[in-house]
Amino acid sequence: MKTMLIDGREVTFNGEDNVLQVIRAAGIDLPTFCYHSELSVYGACRMCIVEINGKGIQAACHTPPEADMDVKTNTARLRKIRKMALELLLANHDRDCTTCDRNGTCKLQELYQRFGVRDIRFGHRDLKSPIDDSSAALVRDPNKCILCGDCVRTCREVQGIGVLDFAHRGSKMTVSPAFNRDLDTVECVNCGQCAVVCPTGALVVKSEVAKAWNAIHDPETTVIVQVAPAVRVSLGEEFGLEAGRSVIGQLSTALKQMGIDKVFDTSFAADLTVMEESSEFLGRFQRGEKLPQFTSCCPAWVKYVEQYHPDVIGHLSSCRSPQQMFGSLAKKFYAQDLGVDPNKLFVMSIMPCTAKKFEAGRAEFTTAGQPDVDVVITTQELARMIRESGIDFAQLEPTSLDMPFGFTTGAGVIFGVTGGVSEAVLRHAYEQVTKKDLSQVVFKQVRGYEGVKRAVVDLDGTTVRIGVVHGLANAGQLLKAIKDGTEELDLIEVMACPGGCVGGAGQPITNQMTQATHTRGQGLYKEDQLLQMHKSQQNPMVNSFYERWLEGPGSEGAHEALHTTYGSRRRVQDDSLELTHQPKASVDVQVCVGTSCYLKGSVDLLKNLKLQMTKGDLEDEVKLRAAFCCQQCAEGPMVIVGETVLNKVTPQRLPDVVGEIKDQVKRQRLGR
């Protein structure tokens, strides 16, 4: 243990990465915008500045702790600098706080009130940038961005994608997707983790509250709600209750008071998912094909695979997510039981996840041309609706969920935490393989919050290798290891959000997100313990549905209602373009399809070149392929023929490219 002085008080420290951690451990709330312990240190906001004897003013987040340091956190000079920094931020910030989604949870708002900033000496923002609401999940408002970089680092470091980055320099600097494109046109997977860390509302969840209210108030529409397992252990935080406490009973009461006709549990559909996914996995495992099998419950993960790893789409489970299984059953079968036209049955999902909004709009998930899930409301949005209704949530008496979709087992409930899907599948697979009753249902091997967990599970002589991953950057690393042949697994569960659905971007905002996520996860495990049934195959309602509608797990009827297919989202696909890949071709031709060249028409150029190669009988001589990226964006579209670089290849310059290819082919022939 070492010691330092903080504001004249001796403080011990041991192992902290920086002075900021030591100060906060000492009980001093040193302000920050850009510091997150899970991310790399950026040090741009300068709010955590301190005075260190002998070193002057330093950013505490950047400064390693040393023994006998004398640190001051609250001097007149530091207060002046912090207030100046806040004034400068506010001068460039859209200060229309009353209509901002983050009003009351905004870090900038909190700090200017804390430091008593009342007068802004530097005027107002004089340029209004357009708001990007193109995404199904998020809204990006550049006018509220304070350039803290939290979203940039989260997207790159936690999710391994890098959709957002800094653009321009000096006073013109912004954070945006490449070329300031809209979010729905770039590789965003809609996970929303950027909105979780954004301190000011520059990135927020896209609200669909108005759509939900319109359906509730329509007397000709029957509205049913499904509630995801992770919501029950987080919604209470919005009303002053502790994280991890299950409020599913109070939630049921609130929804019915708001005018919902039926309240159901997505955990029921999770039980169905277990039955279908286990059946699919055991079939693949016994045949030794398409392994490892990846889970498909997380829509952000599925879109990530479609964009970056379409070669492993066949390894995804074909099961729909629990949300979409529920919607399919509701529209295809339950509407008949209610005697309601499926077009008049409105399915509302309460989800912890922003990517579920995107998932609900996918063309694959429709019945008779209508979406199976009509609207997705996050935990945050639901809290607003409850407040708008004037309901005192904390004082509500609990009521039960409705039947038949309100009955669940513990296996369905733990779907909301990382490792939960794997554990639920193992509880079913064990009994399927061994034909024995599983009395000890807890599989500790797959529990925990490491980014990548590996477990070997013995199913009475049958060994199954399990992988559990949360965070898409971790998933990308594991995929690379599998493709390199350094990792061999049979079943892999992937969730995009840290900690699983309990850490979804639609969950309540908190300054202690990691701690809250873990507490919520423990709440789900506790709920599992308290339920009478812990295995999906024990759910009598699930078994009844199979008998009535679905014929049995893995049946043709189940596949039609509960399964789906996915496809590549790559810009250039070999199956549609049929590029030439002759192994003995003499001339290599590359066309850049990086973002800049792509926007300038390089894919059409690639197609036209393919056509010219066919017409000129050059296919056997030319290896034509797409390249990403040639890093000469200003000179695009760009074509490289052998070692010759051709810039700004417009359609008018296509004959020049073909001529160069023919010349190089001719030279190669003469040299043979």
Model pLDDT for residues 7-60, shown as the tens digit of each residue: 999 999 998 999 999 999 999 999 999 998 888 998 888 899 999 999 999 999
pLDDT confidence of 672, banded at 50, 70, 90? Answer: low
Taking only the tens place, the pLDDT of each residue in 289-298 is 999 999 999 9
Non-local (6+) Cβ contacts of 349 within 8 A are: 225, 226, 228, 266, 323, 326, 327, 356, 360, 373, 375, 376, 377
Residues of the chain with CATH 3.10.20.740: 2-74
Lowest mean pLDDT among 174-188, 266-280, 451-465, 595-609: 595-609
Identify the active-site residue in 277, 423, 487, 621. Answer: 277
Residues of the chain with CATH 3.40.50.1780: 209-562
Residue 578 has pLDDT above 50, yes or no: no
Query: What was the pLDDT predicted at 652?
Result: 87
* Residue type for position 551: E
> Mean of the pLDDT values across residues 113-130?
86
The two tokens of residue 112 are 């200017």
Q: Which segments of 217-366 does DSSP mark as H helices, in order?
A: 248-258, 266-287, 299-308, 322-329, 335-338, 355-360
Lowest mean pLDDT among 21-35, 179-193, 330-344, 617-631: 617-631
Residues of the chain with CATH 3.30.70.20: 86-205
Query: What was the pLDDT predicted at 486?
Result: 94
Identify the active-site residue in 280, 493, 527, 621. Answer: 280
The two tokens of residue 329 are 């059953």
Identify the active-site residue in 100, 155, 297, 597. Answer: 297
Is 578-671 a CATH 3.40.50.620 domain? Answer: no
Identify the active-site residue in 155, 501, 592, 630. Answer: 501
Q: Furthest-apart CA pair in the chain: how many Å? A: 88
Establish whether 100 is a catalytic residue: no
Identify the active-site residue in 237, 359, 381, 493. Answer: 359
Q: In this prediction, what percent of the chain has a pLDDT beyond 90?
A: 73
Residues of the chain with CATH 3.40.30.10: 578-671
pLDDT confidence of 635, banded at 50, 70, 90? Answer: confident
Length of the chain: 672
Query: What was the pLDDT predicted at 633?
Result: 79
| Class of domain 86-205 (CATH, top level) | alpha beta
| Class of domain 2-74 (CATH, top level) | alpha beta
Taking only the tens place, the pLDDT of each residue in 172-184 is 899 999 889 999 9
pLDDT confidence of 579, banded at 50, 70, 90? Answer: low
Establish whether 97 is a catalytic residue: no
Give the angle 603-604-609 at the CA atoms, nearest 5°: 95
Establish whether 527 is a catalytic residue: no
Averaged pLDDT of the chain: 92
Establish whether 381 is a catalytic residue: no
Query: What was the pLDDT predicted at 584?
Result: 60
Residue holding tokens 């496809």? Answer: 567
Identify the active-site residue in 364, 547, 556, 560. Answer: 364
Establish whether 155 is a catalytic residue: no
pTM score of the predicted model: 0.85
Burial 549-577 (b: 16+ CB within 10 A, else e): ebeebbeeebbebbbbebebebebeeeee
Identify the active-site residue in 267, 278, 317, 422. Answer: 317
Query: What was the pLDDT predicted at 575?
Result: 40
Establish whether 242 is a catalytic residue: no
Establish whether 188 is a catalytic residue: no
Establish whether 317 is a catalytic residue: yes
Identify the active-site residue in 206, 290, 356, 600. Answer: 356
Instruction: Decide: helix, strand or coil at residue 1.
Output: coil
Is 209-562 a CATH 3.60.10.10 domain? Answer: no
Query: What was the pLDDT predicted at 574?
Result: 45
